[in-house]
Structure 1
Amino acid sequence: MSAQNPSSPSPVSDRRPHHAHWPKRLPHAITPPQTSLWMNLAISAQRYPDKPALAFLGEVMSYAELARQAEHMAAFLHSLGVEQGDRVILDMQNSPQLVVAHFAILRANAVVVPVNPMNRFEELKHYITDPDVKVAITTGDLAPELARASNALPAPKRLLHLIVTQFTDAFDPDAAGDDAPPEAWSSWLQTRHPLPALEGGQVHDWSEVLLNAHVLPGVIAGADDLAALPYTSGTTGLPKGCMHTHASLMHNAVAGSLWSGASMETVVLAVVPMFHITGMVSMMHAAIYSGATLVIMPRWDRELAGRLISKWRVTSWTNIPTMVIDLMASPNFARFDLSSLAYIGGGGAAMPQAVAQRLFEQFNLRYAEGYGLTETAAPSHSNPPDRPKQQCLGIPFMGCDARVVDPGTLRELPPGEQGEIVVHGPMVFQGYWKRPDATREAFFELDGKRFFRTGDLGRVDEEGYFFITDRLKRMINASGFKVWPAEVEALMFRHPAIQEACVIAAKDNYRGETVKAVVVLRPGQVGVVSEEDIMAWCRENMAVYKAPRIVQFVEALPKSGSGKVMWRALQEAETVAIA
């Protein structure tokens, strides 16, 4: 645990110029509840038992039913031996079961390990072994890949229990109307997949688990205990777990609810993935705290999104800008009713100015861009909904002290000068799981405060608004998904035909950036293995957003005198070629 007390709002100096543009209805810092996140659901279920908590493809789950199912699942986890502080994998697309399972893990006093459902066999091994997980919860379509990963591990490292749900446990596959899923999703959503074999362990059916009558443990976890261990990749090595307490997540859940003007009457379009820190905190936890309704989409589909916003009178939509662009390009866009929207915003990529202007002129909606990392429990910055600036990260969030410093000297820089964006506040994580070395490198002290180094280069203007200018870290941003080249390279080296690989960013008109791999083949493989073969193998062995969309074969990679691959030279050559 860090010296910083995450449950106390950090006083932010009134000399900061952005306070002049702060929403007058809001405080600069808050005092969030000093309880576990589970209590947010328990309290909302007591206050609004019959109110819709979740809407999913034509089915509605009340707050009372959501709490009941979460308690049943928590009791079952406890019966399996899950104790306080134990880590449990949650590997799912957006669904009611994800929300139930997430809060069940918290109710069992355990720690949620959210996993990107696009991850494949080789990637999943790390999410089992690094956090020492023995229990995982997933859906039928993903269960075989998770079981395969576990079965490939040495016996002491394997999962002992796998709880599997089918999407049809939560909705009627014969449902029709505006809530009905696209026809293209039918085989994915409606198939009841057979349960896989788990070597040395047991597989449990979700629907049977919810019928259990096991005893619930007491609520032991408190504000300073670990609540979630989301993983983030970096410039080197395998993904690292970010240790978030109930307090750090609670802070941004409450702050996010206040910032967007949420209430129990808010209706949220939940399409941003809830395994991701933004969807988890700014959307799911903020909504449950407020007693709002989550209208859940398992994947993005512009026609379904338009129908759901219209039917449910959605008031709040956190998204990735590419979703807005796609929706507005629909031939049916004029038929959709967006008049209910009161808040629209997001991050992950810049919102094109022309699209933001159209939103304002046509719907009187100001798109509020924000900025945050897994390490900061989603937003560390956000644009004031009443005074946003376009192509801007926004101002430091509630309780957050953000600065721009010289990356070498760590000295604070004046407005207008480019430097590294650093963050201090109650939303900042406690450190990297089992990685004290990486934790030490990520933090430094300034003015008696512990600041986190984001690795992003930016500047702050005279009004206190932050702008990103470049990256200190080597990273690709593809439609809001962060792709870390070192991780992709490590996976590609497992291909028997690849001798060397260097991954860089290439321009993409829709995704902004896409993944390109510059590859040296092993002797004898030239003319035998094609670029398409490499791309197909990558799609089979890693999450699809990480898989290179472009492969270029070369005879050799540029190297420094010490033998290191000069990735920056390749990146600069790609940038010049585009220009």
Structure 2
Amino acid sequence: MKNHGLGDWIHRRRVRSRGATALVSVGGTLTYDELADRVDRLANAFADRGVGVGDRVAYLGENSAAFLETLFATGSLGAVFVPLNTRLAPPEIQFALKDSGARLLVASATLEPLAAAGARETAVERVLTVEDGTPQQREGTVFPVPTEEFEAVLDSGASERRDVEVDHDDLAVILYTSGTTGNPKGAMLTHGNLTWNAINVLTDFDISSKDVALMIAPLFHVAALGQGALPVILKGGSIVLEQKFEPGRVLELIEEHRVTNISGVPTTFQLLCEHPNWESTDISSLRNLTCGGSAVPLRVLDAYESRGLAFTMGYGMTETSPGATTLPPAYSRSKQGSGGLAHFHTDVRVVDPGDRPCPPGEVGEIQVHGRNVIAEYWNRPDATASSFVHEEHATWLKTGDMGYFDEEGFLFISDRLKDMIISGGENIYPAQVEQQIAALEEVAAVAVIGVEDARWGEVPRAIVVVREGHELSEKQVLGHLDGKLARYKIPKSVVFVDSMPRTASGKIRKPDLRRQFA
């Protein structure tokens, strides 16, 4: 066998897990042997339409069997999978498609208007539409390229397995991260990166072939894909795919499918335990609760511990595929707020400005090394050059996050060099929002900060100085952003000030703004 990447995983599972449930979704249930047959057919259908080694195939849609089928079919051909965030605005989708050079776009029929707008003036030659929900606002949608229906395309493919040479160093996925200076960066995740991340999860978590993982976080996020879905598939467990998070519905699914694993952000777990059906729902099947993005509040820990459950928490990012550290359930209270220990096959260090390791308790930049860490960004040699420290025996990723180790080697995150805001698990970089607001001629200066929010952890707030002789309202600012940015990036409030606190060099002092307005 020539293919040693993700594309061969399902083929290898075909015999080992024949008859076992692989996926449960809106389209029904698929066993591993049925999934393998569909992946083979889809790979051949892609090849019939010109997709080959290195070609990029983009996917725009919510959680569905088609998402994972496209990922594995793409890997079978040695091509590259490009998942797109469904919450982005058309210009953001267009940027990702242009930058990646994707030739084929697979898109949910529910998102046809977004797919059509995003595909304009890009390299996309064909769009495949997936009927995975109730279409909305489809009438009048005009695509700039030919379209076909996903199932019809899959059915047209031959059932023979393709065996293309793929190694661990070959590119598997381009996943776009929010840009600190406007445009996102395409993190280049290899087959080896994702495989070693899955191995880390299987080593540090209690995953078995009997597990049933409920995917309530979107698979286009690296956490859901890398920490949630792929390790369970590698082990031969089952995945229940849910397209939208609704607490009552999630509780029903846990009981119906005897779910063992759930991944999410603190808001996810808070909304579940605050739902009226929390106490009456049978959740005795649950074993693994994985939470990332920020620390779990003590009141949420109490609610789950009262029912015999504990959390595994962690720290990571797209560039680490995504696991860097994990906090075992046994330490969820004694080390509350910690990102945990470095994953088993990953190294994490905290360094001073000269890249020298800091002693316990001293804050420095967090850097990560391991086979799960990317080596470069797509089309961004500048970002690649500035993001890594090359030493004789290791290359370290500069995370841009600040933190420290305690005496026992547990990592604590203390600040972010890049001023990133995490809202409901979504990363928001203020510079991108600030660029859009600054485009208004009425704006003299703008800064975006994060403010605490009971539901989302934190949300963006814009601080604006209006040019002399002009007038501007909060409604006008927010209206200007509508359609230009994903909704979760749009500030929830706008504060108008006469001037900004600045350093001697003229830079806005965001710590001062946070103290005053956050």
Structure 2 length-normalised TM: 0.93
| Correspondence 1:155-554 to 2 at 5 A | 157-168=122-133, 189=134, 193=138, 196-199=141-144, 201-213=145-157, 217-360=162-305, 362-388=306-332, 389-406=335-352, 408-446=353-391, 448-494=393-439, 498=443, 500-521=445-466, 526=471, 530-554=473-497
Secondary structure at the counterpart of residue 141 of structure 1 = helix
SS in 2 for 1:207: helix
In the TM superposition, residue 251 of structure 1 has moved relative to its aligned partner by 0.6
Q: Which moved more, 1:56-65 or 1:314-323?
A: 56-65
- The more displaced of 488-497 and 320-329 is 488-497
User: What residue identity is the alignment partner of 1:161?
Assistant: R
8 Å contact 1:508–1:514 — kept in the other structure?
yes
Distance 1:339 1:61 in 2: 25
The correspondence for 1:116, drawn from 80, 85, 93, is: 85
Q: Deviations over 1:461-497 (max 9, x none)?
A: 1111111111112211112211001112233345566
Q: Deviations over 1:305-363 (max 9, x none)?
A: 11111111111111111111101101111111111111112201210123213322x22
Check 1:205–1:556 CA distance in 2 against 1; reply closer, same or farther (3 A cut): farther
How far is the alpha carbon of 1:375 from its aligned partner? 0.4
How far apart, CA to CA, are the structure 2 residues paired with 1:369 and 1:160?
42
Counterpart secondary structure, 1:370: strand
SS state at 2:316 partner: strand
Stretch moving more, 496-505 or 454-463: 496-505
Conservation of the 8 A alpha-carbon contact between 1:92 and 1:98: yes
C-alpha contact (below 8 Å) 1:422/1:453 kept by paired residues:
yes
Cα displacement string for residues 218-239 of structure 1 (whole angstroms, at most 9, x for unaligned residues)? 3222211000111112432311
Identify, as 1 or 2, the structure richer in strand: 2
- 8 Å CA contact 1:506, 1:513 repeated in 2: yes
Match of 1:182 in 2: none
Percent of paired sites with the same residue:
31
Following the alignment from structure 1 to structure 2, what is the Cα–Cα distance between the partners of residues 507 and 466? 23
Give 1:118 shift.
0.3
Equivalent residue, structure 1, for 2:514: 574
Cα distance, 1:58–1:131 mapped onto 2, change above 3 Å: closer
Is the CA contact (8 Å cut-off) linking 2:80 and 2:173 kept in structure 1? yes
The 3 A distance-change label for structure 1 pair 354 and 307 is same
Matching residue within 68, 75, 89 for 1:106: 75
- Tell me, in whole angstroms, the C-alpha distance in 1 between the residues paired with 2:93 and 2:443: 22
- Structure 1: how far apart are the matches of 2:448 and 2:164? 46
Could you say which structure has the greater relative contact order, defined with CA pairs below 8 angstroms and 6 or more residues apart?
1
Secondary structure in 2 aligned to 1:462?
A: coil
Q: Find the aligned partners of 2:383 and 2:212 in 1 and give their Cα distance.
A: 39
Could you say what secondary structure the match of 1:552 adopts?
strand
Contact 1:196 1:203 in 2 (8 A): no
Q: Is the 8 A contact 2:113 2:138 kept in 1?
A: no
1: distance between equivalents of 2:242 and 2:152?
25
Counterpart code for 1:211? D
- Counterpart code for 1:238: N
User: Relative to structure 1, is the Cα distance of residues 106 and 480 closer, same or farther in structure 2, using a 3 angstrom cutoff?
Assistant: same
Q: Deviations over 1:519-564 (max 9, x none)?
A: 34567751xx5312322342322111111111223455455565x5
Does residue 142 (structure 1) correspond to residue 88 (structure 2)? The answer is no
Distance 1:280 1:465 in 2: 25
Which ranges of structure 1 fall in alignment gaps of 5 or more residues? 1-32, 169-188
What is the Cα deviation at residue 449 of structure 1?
1.6
Partner of 2:43: 74
- Measured in 2, the distance between the counterparts of 1:234 and 1:303 equals 35
8 Å contact kept, 2:8–2:75: no
Determine if contact 1:53/1:292 at 8 Å carries over to the other structure: yes
Please state how far the C-alpha of 1:268 moved relative to its aligned partner: 0.4
Tell me the alpha carbon deviations over residues 273-293 of structure 1, each in whole angstroms, 9 at most, x when there is no partner.
Answer: 110111111111111111111
Distance, in Å, in 1 between the alignment partners of 2:281 and 2:138 is 35
1:78–1:217 CA contact under 8 A, matched in 2: no
In structure 2, do the counterparts of structure 1 residues 161 and 524 end up closer, same or farther at CA, with 3 Å as the change threshold?
farther
